[in-house]
Structure 1
Amino acid sequence: MSYTNASTITEFLLMGFPGLQSWYYGPVAGLFLVVYLAILSGNGLLLVFVGTERSLQKPTYLIFCNLAISDIAFATTTLPKAIARYWVEDQIISFNGCFLQMFMVHLLGSINSFLLMIMALDRYIAICSPLRYQTLIKNSSVLILCGLSWLIPSIWMITIVVQAYFLSYCNSNKIFQCYCDHIGIVGLACENTWKVQTVAYVAAMTLLLGPLTFILFSYISIIITVMKIAHLEGRYKTFSTCSPQLFVICLYYVPRCFNYLANRVWFNFSAEVRIVMILLYSLFPPVVNPLIYCFRTKEIKELLSKKFKARRIGF
């Protein structure tokens, strides 16, 4: 592919939900604002809590912190522009700004996929090989794995964005989505995009299905191990620590895989359904992750209880 950008388009228009009546703009903007504040407050509180409590600075919580940083970055990349779209009806995003947003959206989604895999590895070793946990899972090893989770998708995403950037865009500049994504942008190119779409599809499936394969293996092994526990209470306790994670993993992977596959086989469904589905699997996990992964844990509950009791005594 020769990289000669012949685009006449200098900006894109984020159309959001097609056909949405103007009197719904305020409530939609308000909902996006509430979601944004929930993501910032929940994940921000987690980062502050782990950063100030030395007892929480251990492998599992370091993974949670990386996930929180990724979630905050994703929300900050997408939601302010979506809020502006409906609050002040600002639809315009610059050409370069749109590609930067697309890069961040897909990069952070891929990073989350790898972080969920590391989380599954942590649970797998903790439950299936507990005697080796302290040896294998250390702060240093987790930080290396998390660093690779940021580095590997970055290299891949740069290639994908560069390929899309140098396509010719000379027709419509309307993106029917609340933020710029690869499918929405490349679909506006006025040349054959089969090669670019194929490369992006292979990358998406690799970055999704690779970690997902390991996650499935891990949780199947965990279930087999748990079923061997004779004591019913022990089974319930172990399952209770894994079931919320499985819920978020399903919410993260199933709609994403369906969206990529549907687009690839040209399965048609309404733009509204597609946008709602994308927003659901993109924004719901960042809202609930702090509650599921952290504030339900015994250690954080005990620390919060101590702080509340100390504050009451102080009054």
Structure 2
Amino acid sequence: MPEENRSTLTEFVLSGFPGLHPQYEGLASAVLFLVYFFTMIANATVLFLFVTDRSLHKPMYYIILNLSACDILFSTTTLPKIISKYWFQSKTISFTACFVQMFFVHYLGTVNSYILFQMALDRYLAICRPLRYTLVFKTSTVLTLSVTAWVVAMGVPLMMVIRAYPLPYCASNIVSNCYCDHIGITSLACTDRAAYSIPAFVLAMIMLLGPLAFIIFSYSCIIFAVLKIANVQGRLKTLSTCSAQLIIISLYYFPRCFVYLASNIGITFSADLRIVIIMLYSIAPPMINPLIYCLRTKDMRESLQKLICRAISQKVQISVISK
């Protein structure tokens, strides 16, 4: 496109849910706000339990601590803006803010993937290499892996933003999503998108599927190890230690891989369905993860029960004193 026909965009408009009738926008914002509020409270509870209960200071719970922190940051990056769109009719986001949001969306998604890799490594060592578990998977090891994940994960998202930011955006400024992401933004550029989207897609798949490949390998080994256990009760007990992680991994990877692949191999479906799927894998795991930890992990369940009992006891004592 000739240079004189190009206009410089100063802001983008988030489409949100295109098929949503205006009369339901208030309801949509209320639902999204409740999801965000519950996500914050649930993950903050996990952080509080970890800080106040030293029995949770184990390698696995350090991983859960990182996942909760990542979930809080990801939800805070994505939800407030779309809530304000429907609640206050604030539909626009500045050009720079959109790219900042894009960076954090992909950065935190990558960190999340690395944390799930650590979870799979924990279960693999605990079940397939139990004699080496305490020697290899120490707190110092988890902290080193966690810091590495938070640092290394910056590379690809930063490259994606640096390459996408200077592109000429001269057509529509409507982002077909509830937040700014690489596919939604670069599709608005009035230039050949392939030179930017294909390398970004390949790198994103490496960052996403690399950990997933190890996760599949580790759980395959775990299944074979479990099948060697003669006692049926022993098999079920061993598998129960993996159930929480399998649920979390499924919620994170399956819909995400489907959308990424569909967007790059030509599978078409309605914009509404695409955005609903994106929002489900974006907002559901951060909200559900804390419930899974507290219901499926014994130590955290017991810690939560103690916290509730202490709160009830203190309330009773205050009530008695006031009388």
TM-score by length of 2: 0.92
Which residue in 1 is equivalent to 2:3? none
Classify the secondary structure of the residue corresponding to 1:202: helix
What code does the residue aligned with 1:97 have?
A: A
Within 5 A, what are the aligned runs for 1:256-271?
256-271=256-271
Which residue in 1 is equivalent to 2:216? 216
Within 5 A, what are the aligned runs for 1:223-242?
223-242=223-242
CA distances 1:15-66 after superposition (whole Å, capped 9, x unpaired):
1111321101011001100110111011111011101211211210010010
Q: Which moved more, 1:64-73 or 1:50-59?
A: 50-59
What code does the residue aligned with 2:173 have?
A: N
What code does the residue aligned with 2:190 have?
A: C
C-alpha displacement of 1:193: 1.8
TM-score by length of 1: 0.95
Within 5 A, what are the aligned runs for 1:179-190?
179-190=179-190
Which residue in 2 is equivalent to 1:59? 59
Classify the secondary structure of the residue corresponding to 2:296: coil
User: How far apart, CA to CA, are the structure 1 residues paired with 2:226 and 2:237?
Assistant: 10
What code does the residue aligned with 1:59 have?
A: P
Which residue in 2 is equivalent to 1:104? 104
User: How far apart, CA to CA, are the structure 2 residues paired with 1:69 and 1:312?
Assistant: 27
User: How far apart, CA to CA, are the structure 2 residues paired with 1:221 and 1:197?
Assistant: 35
Q: Is the 8 A contact 1:120 1:218 kept in 2?
A: yes
Closer, same or farther: CA 311–89 of 1 in aligned 2, 3 Å: closer
Residue 84 in structure 1 maps to residue 84 in structure 2: yes
Classify the secondary structure of the residue corresponding to 1:230: coil
User: How far apart, CA to CA, are the structure 2 residues paired with 1:129 and 1:93?
Assistant: 50
Residue 12 in structure 1 maps to residue 12 in structure 2: yes
CA distances 1:247-270 after superposition (whole Å, capped 9, x unpaired):
221221111111111111121110
User: How far apart, CA to CA, are the structure 2 residues paired with 1:278 and 1:48?
Assistant: 29
Q: Is the 8 A contact 1:160 1:199 kept in 2?
A: no
Identity, in percent, stands at 51
Within 5 A, what are the aligned runs for 1:1-315?
8-310=8-310, 315=316
CA RMSD of aligned residues (A): 1.4
User: How far apart, CA to CA, are the structure 2 residues paired with 1:221 and 1:135?
Assistant: 20
Which residue in 1 is equivalent to 2:321? none
Q: Is the 8 A contact 1:59 1:139 kept in 2?
A: yes
User: How far apart, CA to CA, are the structure 1 residues paired with 2:310 and 2:153?
Assistant: 44
User: How far apart, CA to CA, are the structure 1 residues paired with 2:196 and 2:103?
Assistant: 15
Q: Which moved more, 1:291-300 or 1:276-285?
A: 291-300
Closer, same or farther: CA 70–7 of 1 in aligned 2, 3 Å: farther
Closer, same or farther: CA 311–283 of 1 in aligned 2, 3 Å: closer
* Structure 2 spans left out of the alignment, 5+ residues: 1-5, 317-323
User: How far apart, CA to CA, are the structure 1 residues paired with 2:127 and 2:102?
Assistant: 38
User: How far apart, CA to CA, are the structure 2 residues paired with 1:158 and 1:132?
Assistant: 37
Q: Which moved more, 1:302-311 or 1:52-61?
A: 302-311
Q: Is the 8 A contact 2:103 2:157 kept in 1?
A: yes
User: How far apart, CA to CA, are the structure 2 residues paired with 1:13 and 1:90?
Assistant: 9
C-alpha displacement of 1:312: 5.3
Q: Is the 8 A contact 1:26 1:87 kept in 2?
A: yes
State how many pairs are aligned. Answer: 310
* Structure 1 spans left out of the alignment, 5+ residues: 1-5
